[in-house]
Amino acid sequence: MRKIIVMCLIGMAVAACTSIDCPVNNTVRTYYALMKADGTPDTLKKDTMWVWTQRIDGTDTVISRQIQGNLELNCFFGSSASTFDLPISYTQPEDVLCVLLRNSVGKNYIDTIRIKKDDIPHFESVDCQASYFHTITDVSVTHHVVDSIVINNPHVNYDQNTTHFKLYLKANR
């Protein structure tokens, strides 16, 4: 009988435990890869690039960290960085991103990227922040310094090990 009581107490103790199982990677962002025309990874070299967008209240906001084309600054695990990530809006049907690229001699190029998407509400638990996943349906660019942009993976979610867009910059910038 004592064994039974002990088993019941252990069972009750285990059953009484609660845990919060929110995903560790719970940010929804888009991941870009700079590419050369021949399909190999590209870098900004000595160029600098800013990306910004316009908020609903009309104020411009820089939404990306400044991407320095310096190999040492963008170096992860001994290899040069040629990728960056940007946020994506929760429910806007189209995100408009402005890209400013300043080359090594100080010349500026501005491009506008337009991303159309479907928004999918995503729920994990009442303890985890609500979020939106997205399916990218279309992307376009103004082609001043960006030669082209291609959708590589249209599904935007918690996955941080993917590339949603391949960005081809003009070689003679």
Partner 1 sequence: MTKIPHISSSISRLTVSLLLLVMGMGSTQAQVTKMFTMEKDSIPLFCGFSVSFDLVGPAMLMLSDHGEYEGALRVNLHDQWFPIFEMGLGRANHENDEVTGLTYKTTAPYFRLGMDWNILRKKHQPNRMYAGFRYAFTTYNVDIIRENLPDPIWQTASGFGVEGMSCNMHWLEAVLGIDAKVFGPLHLGWTVRYKRRLFHNDGTLGTTWYVPGFGTNDKDQLAANFNVIIDI
Question: What residue ranges bind partner 1 (CB under 8 A)?
Answer: 4, 7-8, 11-12, 14-15, 18, 21, 53, 55-57, 61, 63, 87, 89-92, 120-130, 132-133
By C-beta, is 124 or 147 nearer to partner 1?
124
Q: How many CB atoms lie within 10 A of CB 42?
A: 19
The distance of closest approach from Cβ of residue 168 to partner 1 in the complex, given in angstroms and rounded to an integer, is: 26
By C-beta, is 4 or 171 nearer to partner 1?
4
The distance of closest approach from Cβ of residue 100 to partner 1 in the complex, given in angstroms and rounded to an integer, is: 18
Residues in Cβ contact with 53 at an 8 Å cutoff, skipping those fewer than 6 apart? 60, 61, 63, 95, 96, 97, 98
Residue 85 exposure: Cα atoms within 13 Å on the Cβ side:
15
Length of the chain: 173
By C-beta, is 142 or 158 nearer to partner 1?
158
Distance CA 12, CA 14 (A): 5
Q: How many CB atoms lie within 10 A of CB 123?
A: 9
By C-beta, is 43 or 53 nearer to partner 1?
53
Q: How many CB atoms lie within 10 A of CB 45?
A: 13
Residues β-bridged to residue 62: 52
Distance CA 59, CA 146 (A): 25
The distance of closest approach from Cβ of residue 53 to partner 1 in the complex, given in angstroms and rounded to an integer, is: 7
What are the tokens at 22?
């929110």
The distance of closest approach from Cβ of residue 129 to partner 1 in the complex, given in angstroms and rounded to an integer, is: 5
By C-beta, is 35 or 97 nearer to partner 1?
97
The distance of closest approach from Cβ of residue 152 to partner 1 in the complex, given in angstroms and rounded to an integer, is: 22
